[in-house]
Structure 1
């Protein structure tokens, strides 16, 4: 990777803001270094009477140095304050901007991206990786830049006094670099193992917490935790291996080489001093400055582990930005109606094709039901209708317009979706319903809730519509969550409604109420219903039976029963199951 590309990645796409902040850090470092020069001046004036006996102590010069030191303290306070505030707010702003941009980017990605990515993996990128890159950007990059610039300035200034001593000071630094590069390459592989272990831990925690009720019900909480515990142990082992396998050797070897450099400076200075080619003051000055020059180099060595880990984090963030969203047309076409047509549509998840050249008609202002065994492609049809993915063959048309010729927000603005797996946000019930129509009045929200048969149980809660539901709606039952989701869709009042197993978690009484609400929509909306309970879609205008991604049958309830095919068999099985009583 080129340095420019690496810097662009590490600065989250805002290199010029970082350069400005780094300049402030450089100015801060220069002002902070002034006391070293003042100290050398003080040593020079204090040694003057020893070098030339009988010479009076230059008290005036010493007092000027003290004044310079006090002025430096005052100046450094304000400069350091400015640097700290600008750096803290500046870096935080850059990270915030990047996270918001990434959030907008993720919002535009297809559902196929999310079906292939683990939630723990995404949360690791958005939280841990951003924190890692932010820590490096705020600490390491400015320090590296300051150290390199100070090296150049120190080399020029010291060479003006004695080039031989300057060469002795800087000679060992290149000798230590091969160890750093060798370790950096090794740490690249080790850090990849560490980050894989961290992603595994994040995914394991989410899975364990989300499924704790099921685990306890089957007395598996302890056994499943052992798996999570092993993930923690792998993360710990990878972290220890990273430090002991690469970071520690680099630090020790670097310190050893630089310690040899201190010895080299002492021997070179002593040799020149005995030959009268170096003044004692300059010898002492080089000894003092050598320590201040080598210390930042040791700091760079300790950054190697952070650098390798941060590069991996930056690459993972960049990889998310490189995911391509569904293409959007420059000019969105306007559909003429709300009918949906599938024309010879094929679709595949990766290498597995789940729909095979199917053609379907969903007429406007009618109810069409999709039935069939699990995995037959029912949910895929509804997702393609809402353009959560693009078809791999054929076309999906809304009101005669290919959905690929419409902007995604315009498609979704015409569609209300109720998923089988309902997700409610950690907010009030009112806020969760209001998502369907942000400017809705309270009366409209309550009317939608009544139509979805959830008004009564909401009013029975302690705070009514202001009751806060847990994350994902964890404080409500499955049926209650689903009814709130239906209320949200009814409030949106979109001309197309997609119901994916919308009545799966409802008791018979509430299911009847929901069916009545859906029936009231038929005259005005295009409704696509997925249902396993065939009794709930008996009155549908058309029933399409899917099997293994093919259209097996279609027709009304009576027509399909008379045909004696798959639908009739499913109806017979459910009728027999309905006889059983506990």
Structure 2
């Protein structure tokens, strides 16, 4: 586990970890050695002159004091190292997540990383602060006591030592038996938590359908599966716990019988036998705690493995000699892109001259949003090239590329904070007058006027305190403030009411003026704003041309246009 911990944290943290392990090991050995003084203490106490016990009692008291000091120093080192490593791991994880491609962040991964960055990191770093010291005490202190027993009486020491390989085998066997059940339990717990969230989010739908009092079958199934997985985990751990207890009790019984036999034969005094039994009893408690500590260590190891898997995820390669494009035309050159086994784009070729607007239309799943993601380099292509200003996006520094692009998506995410703070994300160093001008151009000023706290209104997490149209206006104001030469729009008005749609379109007119634009759209009003239209289906460009030209052809685009106008005609 220490090797995995160093791999997750980085080799620069090896020194504090080794120092902490050393202090904890010394404390555990010192504790075991201190118990050696119990033998002369009991020998003198039950001997002919009990008064001779005082020097040994003083020595034992001094040893206990030294052990307490060492334990304090080891625990302090563990806590300090734990907090240092916790801070370092958060920084490393944050820096690594910031370098991963945006396309890596699926909905499932966002939830997984959220749990990992909170509970997972704390459990993993708890190894140093809370688990390592008890584990080393449970393993090292009994071995030290056995070594002491060997010095005082080799037969009794060998009898106690015989338990060591049996305990080790039980621990290894229990760990292997529980590894599969631990993984299953984690998966079932994750599924159950997801179903609980789903059930809560589905309350409006369930209540609207008059089914709020009914049981949610998917949630019930997930909870039952979690319960079964938890039961299997307990049952898998039970043989190890029982086996370890039986071994410890059996060894103690053997020592008792052997000690009595040797004492009756005159090979050892009764006081020494009593001392050996006290030592054996003292080593039993930490041994029995190994099962509980082992379970906690397995949980921490699982979290470390998940952290390690994320940190081993390769970010998109950065260019060694980045090129800065001087133009802002766009090109897809025989681009092929796959997600798993599915080919999303298949040999697609498309170009957008600088300053022109291209509308991409087509059925759901055709790959329209993927085009925008490839332009922003959320992913890398499997074949072909995506170029900005004639330069492959893989040869452009990521910060330079993103500085040239403004993205406005259908699902707008706003950070918890004020409206002004969310707009300033477009250009943090903008003057107040520029922020106000961008808000006015996006028709956001009229929203701000009716909000109780105006510019200081908190939008809530994700922008939950604003409507969809209001969030969209904030995103357009943010893009206007950024003033990038390339604009990528993805279904920005598909879910808006007529009033907000009209306001957003006015903001878009300001945003798109004089820029190179690729917009994914279904609404006729949005498509008409484009200089050219590309109809995408099955990962290929099926038709391409001007709006009127494509209508005259009577092909796929004409059919799409008629279908888009049909709802309006019925209304």
Give your verdict on TM over 0.5: yes
1:129 to 120, 136, 144: 120
- The aligned residue for residue 52 of structure 1 is none
1:543-558 residue pairs with structure 2 within 5 A? 543-558=533-548
Q: Secondary structure at the match of 2:46?
A: helix
- Check whether the contact 1:7–1:15 (CA below 8 A) recurs between aligned residues: no
Q: What is the CA–CA distance in structure 1 between the aligned matches of 2:172 and 2:471, rounded to whole Å?
A: 56
Structure 1, 291-300 or 571-580: larger mean CA deviation:
571-580
1:54-69 residue pairs with structure 2 within 5 A? 55=49, 57-58=51-52, 61=55, 64-65=58-59, 69=61
- The aligned residue for residue 425 of structure 2 is 435
- Check whether the contact 1:365–1:522 (CA below 8 A) recurs between aligned residues: no
- The aligned residue for residue 234 of structure 1 is 225
- The aligned residue for residue 105 of structure 2 is 114
Deviation at 1:321, TM superposition (A): 1.8
- Check whether the contact 1:341–1:361 (CA below 8 A) recurs between aligned residues: yes
Q: What is the CA–CA distance in structure 1 between the aligned matches of 2:53 and 2:142, rounded to whole Å?
A: 33
Change (3 A) 1:393 1:216: farther
Listed one character per residue, the Cα deviations across residues 139-171 of structure 1 (whole Å, up to 9, x for unaligned) are 333333344433443343332222111112221
Q: What is the CA–CA distance in structure 2 between the aligned matches of 1:552 and 1:359, rounded to whole Å?
A: 11
Q: What is the CA–CA distance in structure 2 between the aligned matches of 1:221 and 1:402, rounded to whole Å?
A: 54
1:376 to 345, 362, 366: 366
- Check whether the contact 2:45–2:51 (CA below 8 A) recurs between aligned residues: yes
Deviation at 1:428, TM superposition (A): 2.1
TM-score for both structures, normalised by structure 2: 0.91
Q: What is the CA–CA distance in structure 2 between the aligned matches of 1:281 and 1:133, rounded to whole Å?
A: 46
- Check whether the contact 1:356–1:549 (CA below 8 A) recurs between aligned residues: yes
Q: What is the CA–CA distance in structure 2 between the aligned matches of 1:516 and 1:134, rounded to whole Å?
A: 52
Listed one character per residue, the Cα deviations across residues 236-256 of structure 1 (whole Å, up to 9, x for unaligned) are 32122211x122221122111
Q: Secondary structure at the match of 1:326?
A: coil
Listed one character per residue, the Cα deviations across residues 92-146 of structure 1 (whole Å, up to 9, x for unaligned) are 3313322332232223223443338444333343334334333344333333334
1:358 to 330, 348, 359: 348
Q: What is the CA–CA distance in structure 2 between the aligned matches of 1:467 and 1:84, rounded to whole Å?
A: 47
- The aligned residue for residue 253 of structure 1 is 243
Q: What is the CA–CA distance in structure 1 between the aligned matches of 2:159 and 2:307, rounded to whole Å?
A: 43
1:191-230 residue pairs with structure 2 within 5 A? 191-219=182-210, 225-230=216-221
1:262 to 252, 265, 278: 252
- The aligned residue for residue 337 of structure 1 is 327
Deviation at 1:415, TM superposition (A): 0.9
- The aligned residue for residue 557 of structure 2 is 567
- The aligned residue for residue 385 of structure 2 is 395
Q: Secondary structure at the match of 1:505?
A: coil
- The aligned residue for residue 395 of structure 2 is 405
- Check whether the contact 2:9–2:88 (CA below 8 A) recurs between aligned residues: no
1:309 to 296, 299, 317: 299
- Check whether the contact 1:120–1:199 (CA below 8 A) recurs between aligned residues: no
Task: Please list every run of 5 or more consecutive structure 1 residues that lacks an aligned counterpart in the other structure.
Answer: 50-54
Change (3 A) 1:111 1:571: same
1:180 and 2:167 matched: no
Deviation at 1:487, TM superposition (A): 1.4
- Check whether the contact 1:433–1:445 (CA below 8 A) recurs between aligned residues: yes
Listed one character per residue, the Cα deviations across residues 376-432 of structure 1 (whole Å, up to 9, x for unaligned) are 221111111111111122110011110111222221121111111111222222222
Alignment root-mean-square deviation, CA = 2.8
- Check whether the contact 1:208–1:224 (CA below 8 A) recurs between aligned residues: no
Listed one character per residue, the Cα deviations across residues 485-511 of structure 1 (whole Å, up to 9, x for unaligned) are 111222211121111111223333443
Change (3 A) 1:376 1:111: same
Change (3 A) 1:62 1:361: closer
Paired residues in the alignment total 570
- The aligned residue for residue 20 of structure 2 is 21
Structure 1, 233-242 or 251-260: larger mean CA deviation:
233-242
Q: What is the CA–CA distance in structure 2 between the aligned matches of 1:88 and 1:554, rounded to whole Å?
A: 64
Q: What is the CA–CA distance in structure 2 between the aligned matches of 1:164 and 1:59, rounded to whole Å?
A: 26
- Check whether the contact 2:81–2:128 (CA below 8 A) recurs between aligned residues: no
Q: What is the CA–CA distance in structure 1 between the aligned matches of 2:166 and 2:386, rounded to whole Å?
A: 65
Q: What is the CA–CA distance in structure 2 between the aligned matches of 1:414 and 1:470, rounded to whole Å?
A: 29
Deviation at 1:450, TM superposition (A): 1.5
1:541 and 2:531 matched: yes
Q: Secondary structure at the match of 2:106?
A: helix
2:312 to 299, 314, 322: 322
- The aligned residue for residue 467 of structure 1 is 457
- Check whether the contact 1:345–1:393 (CA below 8 A) recurs between aligned residues: yes
1:424 to 397, 414, 425: 414
Deviation at 1:571, TM superposition (A): 2.7
Q: What is the CA–CA distance in structure 2 between the aligned matches of 1:218 and 1:378, rounded to whole Å?
A: 34
Deviation at 1:219, TM superposition (A): 4.6
Q: What is the CA–CA distance in structure 1 between the aligned matches of 2:54 and 2:177, rounded to whole Å?
A: 57
Q: What is the CA–CA distance in structure 2 between the aligned matches of 1:211 and 1:332, rounded to whole Å?
A: 48
Structure 1, 438-447 or 183-192: larger mean CA deviation:
438-447
Q: Secondary structure at the match of 1:57?
A: helix
Structure 1, 34-43 or 358-367: larger mean CA deviation:
34-43
Q: Secondary structure at the match of 1:435?
A: helix
